[in-house]
Structure 1
Amino acid sequence: MDDDTPQEIGKLGYTVGIASCLDGVVEGKQLFRVEAGNCCDHALEQASVLLDSARRASFIGVMDDEPVLVWASHFLSEMAKALMDDAHMGLHSKE
């Protein structure tokens, strides 16, 4: 990474930019991909925030019969999974 990156950034490693999410129109193509070079620590923190938002949207969507919130929960969960998968690959590439 950059020489001016602080030491405390990226203790766990860096994202590799392989994981993707949300199916595209073309079979086998995804709409979004995790950007390589982000610190895994931050990626995992953001995945936690996304999962908490997904949990809340899912609960409210089911309780209030709001399908759009259930779909939002689905998309947020896919994004969180991509972040966690990519961070996991970055952790293993550090070893």
Structure 2
Amino acid sequence: MDKTVPEGTGTLGLTVGSASCMDGVIKGKRLFRVKAGNCCNHAIEQASLLLDCSRRASFIGVMDDEPVLVWASHFLCEMAKALMDDAHMGMRKQR
């Protein structure tokens, strides 16, 4: 895998691919994992977008009594956390 970051891409480093989210049916197994080698700047931007969507879904879900939107908010938060955790590991690795 090419580990060079294209010019113009953020300088924070690359994701390491070890953060995961959403519990699987088997104890200790996770359904999703962040892919290694992505720009940490982009991962953080995407996490911010996921958190904004989560905030909106949570608000609408509570106000309109739509539990499915509250669950969607929960899963979006898990994805955002995995992105942030993995980006943080990538930034620490770059030091």
TM-score, with structure 2 as normaliser? 0.95
Inter-partner Cα distance in structure 1 for 2:79 and 2:36 = 15
Equivalent position of 2:89 in the other structure: 89
Q: Structure 2 unaligned runs (5+)? A: none
Equivalent position of 1:64 in the other structure: 64
Q: Structure 1 unaligned runs (5+)? A: none
Describe the SS at the equivalent of 1:2. coil
After TM superposition, give the deviation of residue 85 of structure 1 in Å: 0.1
Inter-partner Cα distance in structure 1 for 2:4 and 2:51 = 32
After TM superposition, give the deviation of residue 5 of structure 1 in Å: 4.4
* Paired residues, number: 95
Inter-partner Cα distance in structure 2 for 1:28 and 1:15 = 22
After TM superposition, give the deviation of residue 28 of structure 1 in Å: 0.1
Describe the SS at the equivalent of 2:78. helix
1:3/1:37 CA distance change after superposition, 3 Å: closer
Inter-partner Cα distance in structure 2 for 1:5 and 1:79 = 23
Equivalent position of 1:37 in the other structure: 37
Describe the SS at the equivalent of 1:11. coil
Could you tell me the percent identity over the aligned residues? Answer: 74
After TM superposition, give the deviation of residue 4 of structure 1 in Å: 7.1
2:5 touches 2:39 (CA, 8 Å); kept in 1? Answer: no
2:3 touches 2:37 (CA, 8 Å); kept in 1? Answer: no
Equivalent position of 1:47 in the other structure: 47
CA RMSD, Structure 1 to Structure 2 (Å): 1.5
TM-score, with structure 1 as normaliser? 0.95
Equivalent position of 2:22 in the other structure: 22
Query: Which AA in structure 1 matches 2:68?
Result: V
After TM superposition, give the deviation of residue 9 of structure 1 in Å: 1.6
